[in-house]
Amino acid sequence: MKQPLGVLEANFLKPVGLPGKVVGHLMSVQHRSLTGWALDTIGIPPAASVLDVGCGSGMALGMVSRRTSGRLMGVDYSDVMVAQTLRRNRAAVQATRLRAANGTADRLPCDDNSFDVALAIETVYFWPDLAAGLREVHRVLRPGGRIGVVVEMSKESMLSPTLVQRTVGRRFIERSEASGMTILSADALCGYLNDAGFDDSRWATRPERSLGWLCAWATKP
């Protein structure tokens, strides 16, 4: 039987069943300030259509819905998260502004060239093939569309670590990498974005927050 920490970690990767529902709500609390910072940093144009890949509980889409009048879509490979996204955003769903569907990052249930902005918040660590996922996001963005990738755990935290980052944080990052998660530096993340066909990649960081908040964004030419 899994220990509580193991259950928690497994459900951050893919929320399932009752523990998944609880973790979905936890994530929406834990990631709210990170998401607000990232949306301010990336910039959401007022009528932009927005896709959120690995949308979790739909918290970010709720925040985005107050910044744009455009169409919104969440994709997640967890049915529990798709259901939470629909429930949390029921007014936008009823107004036919928001949809959510089951899908994986490397096979999005979306047409080519169909969104102005695509977000991937606290999810790319888990993608089995990050390069393929970013190429897929490139496919569904319109020319001129923007991708924003956001993480709260990055190698940026190790450049000038706080005491907690130097002690607990370093070990947590090593353990996460050993378990197969991808923990990126800003340069590595921008390298992935460039290789997927994006232009003009930029990044911002709050290295002292959590394990190194990092937001990178780029444009589809």
- In the set 54, 145, 169, 212, which binds ligand SAM (CB under 6 A)? 54
- We find the least distance from the C-beta atom of residue 87 to ligand SAM, in angstroms, to be 14
The minimum distance between CB 20 and ligand SAM, in angstroms, equals 8
Maximum separation of any 2 CA atoms in the chain, in Å: 49
> Which range, of 53-61, 90-98, 170-178, 210-218, touches ligand SAM by CB under 6 A?
53-61
Residues 121-160 that bind ligand SAM (CB under 6 A): 121-123, 126-127
Whole-number Å distance between alpha carbons of 150 and 69: 22
Sign, CA torsion 39/135/57/189: negative
Rounded alpha-carbon distances, angstroms, from residue 2 to 17, 39, 180, 181 = 15, 36, 18, 19
**Residue nearest to ligand SAM according to CB distances in the complex:** 56
> Smallest distance, Å, CB 160 to ligand SAM?
25
Determine if residue 113 is left, alpha or beta; phi over 0 gives left, psi from -120 to 50 gives alpha, anything else beta: left
Neighbours of 162 (CB within 10 A): 14
Q: Does 56 bind ligand SAM (CB under 6 A)?
A: yes
C-alpha to C-alpha distance for 190 and 16, rounded to whole angstroms: 32
* Candidate residues 44, 55, 92, 216; the one interacting with ligand SAM per rule CB under 6 A: 55
* Contact positions with ligand SAM (CB under 6 A) in 61-90: 76-78, 81
Write out the binding residues for ligand SAM, residues 164-193 only, by CB under 6 A.
Answer: none
30 vs 114, beta carbon nearer ligand SAM: 30
Cα 65 from chain centroid? Answer: 16
Residue 123 beta carbon to ligand SAM: minimum distance, rounded to whole angstroms: 4
Binder among 105, 149, 183, 190 for ligand SAM (CB under 6 A) = 105
Cβ closest to ligand SAM, residue 77 vs residue 203 = 77
- Residue 77's alpha-carbon distances to 36, 41, 114, in angstroms, are 24, 27, 20
- Asked if residues 193 and 149 have their Cβ atoms less than 8 Å apart, the reply is yes
Task: Give me the residues that bind ligand SAM (CB under 6 A), please.
Answer: 12, 14-15, 27-28, 31, 54-56, 59-60, 76-78, 81, 104-105, 121-123, 126-127
